[in-house]
């Protein structure tokens, strides 16, 4: 029962039927068009994608192919120009701003290539931010932020500000921040893009752990050996899904 | 927790906030000063204008017929009936007696005078108080024509006993100088001297220039005029200056038509009308009327001044609004990345809007309170400047009613000023903001 059929999404039947049980991310013919003056850029040109609960998916593709655009749509940071998107079974286009904010806060953890930490705040405060926005009481907030920071190995760096941390440590803070609300989905856009290979391995070990705990992880990367940490590799080219296959490691694990 | 976020946010971008705060501060200072002055300016202007003449005139009742030519009162002096000088002390005993600041009785008398040239010439004399104590006690207020006509310019001294002051016009015509003797006799109404009339040896103690009809008259002490005309204790007309409340619709009501309750309210308000009413009650046979000329010009002046004040206040607030708007635009532009991050971490649009509004609101309240204090000080200082020597300056300081008004204005202005930039920041997609920031 080999699942290794390379799927060409451009030719697959549509996902218009919506999500099946167990699928947390389902997109149907997703388009994103940026208008700049009289120029139109089609960053996405009809993406069909299904991601099941606790999958570990790497998204690869050349620069400018639309990976970050897709991640922003999946993370509800942006809305598609066309097409539909179901997150955890909900049609996102039906949700209002408050509900989307709640989803970003509770169900999704973002990790960015550039970390996006508040420069003037300590690690602890940066990690507390998402808890502040959902009104978690102070004592619980601090306790949870400390716990998560310890779990990413930064127990001794809680009072440091970002400019007092190394790149790898900053990314760990960002990961801790993404995890603090215990989201089921973690979206990481080139989380190791600014890190050396040794630090990258440490960060990937963290994602590995998270996946083992049952989280759904979607990770964008340029590096094939980073992508190999995932179970499944989706390739984007010119705004469409050009390839979708299991990773080598996962394939080898298949009976 | 929101509070902590707010405090943290508030402490940031201090330079921008300082600028916005100063703008609000200046705006509210101006508005407070204007409002504080506007609430007291009526009183003060009235006090200033009150020195420029009477606002109530008292006549004998039978002398009601108005004879006016070109707005000038030409009521004949020989109306036949007179007021009693001894009744005038009653003016200070009426309900609003303490508001009466000046009383000037008049008794015109037609005389024939022998000029230094030896000619016998006809002249109008006018008996007046010059520095009269209304009551016997030592602290009694001194009353008279000079107090009611502060613009009269006198050379020499005001007359006593058988002295007289002549108008500058008459003095020039007759070549009179201070110290000259001026014998007069009573002339009859048609200007023909009756043969047996008694002669009075007046002496010129001063020459006065007044700018009105008294320029051509002989001003003499009231008692002298009464003696010459043979009417002891008689007064023909009394000019009264009173501190009054500006006339409004209620002031013009006929007291007879008011309900007892309204009548009391009318009676106990210091309108010129109600004071005139009380004078009629106090002095039998007197008809008191409000002189509207002064009141009306006061009204116009007040209207113009308060119009100007509103304009200045509105301009100050508008400028503050623009300054806040500019400061907030840059402040929010600087924090776009942070706004994007906040949204990606689950802050809703309304939460972010609330944060920024709370921040400007806090700033506005701070700046508004300080502006209120500064503005009150400014009003006191301005009041002392404009209305020199006015003891009322102290009461203009810290009018507590103005505080909420001013703070509310500051809030309205800063919220209006920051709305455009907050809205534009929220309209942007968080992904675009994060990308731009990267
Ligand atoms: N806000 C925007 N306005 C206009 N065009 C945009 C915008 N964001 C992205 N694009 C365009 O959309 C296309 C896809 O961009 P995207 O960032 O998704 O690429 P990517 O696959 O993430 O590239 P990289 O690997 O370099 O990060 C690009 O051509 C880019 O120029
Ligand atoms: Mg990208």
Output the average pLDDT for chain A: 88
The verdict on residue A81 lying in a domain is no
Distance from the alpha carbon of residue A68 to the mean position of ligand 1, in angstroms: 7
The verdict on residue A173 lying in a domain is yes
Residue identifier of the C-alpha nearest atom 29 of ligand 1: A64
Spell out which residues of chain B touch residue A112, defining contact as CB-CB under 8 Å: 434, 438
Q: How remote is the C-alpha of A130 from its chain's centroid?
A: 16
A133 with B346: Cβ contact below 8 A: yes
pLDDT band at A57; cut points 50, 70, 90: very high
Residue identifier of the C-alpha nearest atom 25 of ligand 1: A63
The verdict on residue A90 lying in a domain is no
Q: Is the pLDDT of residue A160 over 90?
A: yes
CB pairs under 8 A between A and B: 77
Whose tokens are 């039947």? That residue is A13
CATH number reported for the structural domain that contains residue A178 in this entry: 3.40.50.300
Distance from the alpha carbon of residue A132 to the mean position of ligand 2, in angstroms: 28
pLDDT of residue B147: 82
Distance from the alpha carbon of residue B222 to the mean position of ligand 1, in angstroms: 102
- Interface predicted TM-score (ipTM) over 0.95: no
| Closest ligand to Cα A33 | 1
The verdict on residue A29 lying in a domain is no
B157 lines ligand 1 (CB under 6 A): no
pLDDT of residue B34: 83
B394 lines ligand 1 (CB under 6 A): no
pLDDT band at A114; cut points 50, 70, 90: confident
A114 with B350: Cβ contact below 8 A: no
Nearest to A26 by CA among A52, A55, A4: A52
Q: Is the pLDDT of residue A251 over 90?
A: no
Whose tokens are 């990770």? That residue is A219
Q: Within chain A, what is the greatest distance between any pair of CA atoms?
A: 54
What is the position in ligand 1's atom list of the atom closest to the CA of A239? Answer: 14
Contacts of A128-133 with CB under 8 Å at 24 or more apart are A128/A180, A129/A177, A129/B342, A129/B345, A130/A105, A130/A177, A130/A180, A130/A181, A130/B345, A130/B346, A131/A180, A131/A181, A132/B1, A132/B2, A132/B4, A132/B5, A133/A101, A133/A105, A133/B342, A133/B345, A133/B346, A133/B347, A133/B351
Distance from the alpha carbon of residue A197 to the mean position of ligand 2, in angstroms: 19
Domain with A61 in it: 55-72+95-253
pLDDT of residue A13: 62
HSE-CB of B100 using CA atoms within 13 angstroms: 28
State pTM to two decimals. 0.61
pLDDT band at A10; cut points 50, 70, 90: very low
**CB–CB of B354/B367 below 8 Å?**
no
The verdict on residue A104 lying in a domain is yes
Q: Which residues pair with B135 in a beta bridge?
A: none
**CB–CB of A122/A160 below 8 Å?**
yes
User: Which regions in chain B score pLDDT beneath 70?
Assistant: 1-2, 4, 39, 41-54, 62-80, 137-140, 188-197, 292-299, 386-398, 433-438
b (16+ CB within 10 A) / e for B57-74: bbbbeebeeeeeeeeeee
pLDDT of residue B294: 52
Spell out which residues of chain A touch residue B345, defining contact as CB-CB under 8 Å: 104-105, 110, 129-130, 133, 177
A94, containing H or E segment: none
Overall domain count for chain A = 1
Average pLDDT over residues A44-70: 94
In tens, the pLDDT along B225-253 reads 999 988 888 899 898 888 877 777 787 78
3-state class (DSSP) for residue A233: strand
A69 lines ligand 1 (CB under 6 A): yes
**Calpha distance B200→B113 (Å, rounded):** 9
Average pLDDT over residues A220-236: 93
């Amino acid at each position: 029962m080999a699942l290794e059929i390379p799927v060409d999404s451009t030719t697959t039947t549509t996902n218009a039927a919506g999500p099946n049980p167990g699928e947390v991310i389902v997109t149907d013919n997703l388009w994103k068009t940026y208008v700049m003056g009289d120029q139109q850029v089609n960053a996405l040109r009809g993406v069909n994608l299904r991601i099941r609960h606790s999958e570990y998916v790497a998204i690869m593709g050349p620069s400018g192919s639309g990976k970050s655009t897709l991640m922003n749509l999946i993370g509800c940071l942006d809305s598609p120009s066309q097409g539909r998107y179901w997150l955890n079974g909900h049609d996102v286009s039906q949700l209002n701003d408050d509900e989307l904010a709640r989803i970003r806060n509770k169900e999704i953890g973002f990790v960015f290539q550039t970390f996006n930490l508040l420069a003037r705040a300590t690690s602890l405060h940066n990690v507390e931010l998402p808890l502040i926005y959902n009104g978690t009481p102070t004592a619980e907030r601090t306790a949870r932020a400390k716990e998560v920071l310890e779990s990413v190995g930064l127990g001794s760096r809680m009072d440091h500000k970002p400019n007092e941390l190394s790149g790898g440590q900053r990314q760990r803070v960002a990961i801790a921040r993404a995890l603090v609300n215990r989201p089921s989905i973690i979206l990481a856009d080139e989380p190791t893009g600014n890190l050396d290979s040794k630090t990258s391995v440490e960060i990937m070990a963290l994602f590995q752990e998270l996946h083992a705990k049952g989280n759904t992880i979607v990770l964008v990367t340029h590096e094939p050996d980073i992508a190999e940490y995932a179970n499944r590799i989706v390739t984007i080219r010119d705004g469409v899904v050009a390839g979708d296959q299991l990773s080598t490691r996962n394939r080898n694990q298949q009976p | 927790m929101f509070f902590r976020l707010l405090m943290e946010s508030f402490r940031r971008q201090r330079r921008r906030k300082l600028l916005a705060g100063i703008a609000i501060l200046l705006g509210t200072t101006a508005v407070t000063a204007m409002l504080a002055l506007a609430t007291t300016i009526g009183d003060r202007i009235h006090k200033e204008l009150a020195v420029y003449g009477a606002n109530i005139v008292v006549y004998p009742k039978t002398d009601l017929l108005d004879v006016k030519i070109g707005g000038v009162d030409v009521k004949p002096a020989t109306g036949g009936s007179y007021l009693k000088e001894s009744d005038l002390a009653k003016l200070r005993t009426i309900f609003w007696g303490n508001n009466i600041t000046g009383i000037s009785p008049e008794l015109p008398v037609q005389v024939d005078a022998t000029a230094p040239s030896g000619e016998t010439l006809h002249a109008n004399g006018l008996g007046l108080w010059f520095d009269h104590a209304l009551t016997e006690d030592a602290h009694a207020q001194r009353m008279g024509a000079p107090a009611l006509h502060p613009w009269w310019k006198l050379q020499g001294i005001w007359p006593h006993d058988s002295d007289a002051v002549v108008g500058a016009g008459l003095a020039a015509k007759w070549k009179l100088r201070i110290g000259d003797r001026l014998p007069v006799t009573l002339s009859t109404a048609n200007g023909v001297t009756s043969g047996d009339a008694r002669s009075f040896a007046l002496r010129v103690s001063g020459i006065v220039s007044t700018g009105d009809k008294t320029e051509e008259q002989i001003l003499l002490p009231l008692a002298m005029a009464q003696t010459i005309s043979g009417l002891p204790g008689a007064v023909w007309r009394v000019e009264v200056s009173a501190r009054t409340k500006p006339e409004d619709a209620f002031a013009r009501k006929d007291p007879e038509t008011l309900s007892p309750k309204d009548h009391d309210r009318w009676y106990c308000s210091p309108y010129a009308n109600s004071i005139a009413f009380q004078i009629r009650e106090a002095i039998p046979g007197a008809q008191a009327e409000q002189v509207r000329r002064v009141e009306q010009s006061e009204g116009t002046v007040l209207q113009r001044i308060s119009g100007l004040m509103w304009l200045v206040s509105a301009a100050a607030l508008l400028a503050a609004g623009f300054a806040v708007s500019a400061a907030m635009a840059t402040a929010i532009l600087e924090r776009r990345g942070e706004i994007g991050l906040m949204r990606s971490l689950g802050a809703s649009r309304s939460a972010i809007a609330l944060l920024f509004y709370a921040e400007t609101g806090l700033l506005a309240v701070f700046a508004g309170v300080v502006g209120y204090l500064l503005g009150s000080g400014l009003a006191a200082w301005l009041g002392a400047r404009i209305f020199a020597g006015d003891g009322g300056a102290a009461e203009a300081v810290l009018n507590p009613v103005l505080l909420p008004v001013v703070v509310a204005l500051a809030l309205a202005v800063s919220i209006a000023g920051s709305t455009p930039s907050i809205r534009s920041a929220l309209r942007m997609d968080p992904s675009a903001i994060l990308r731009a920031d990267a």
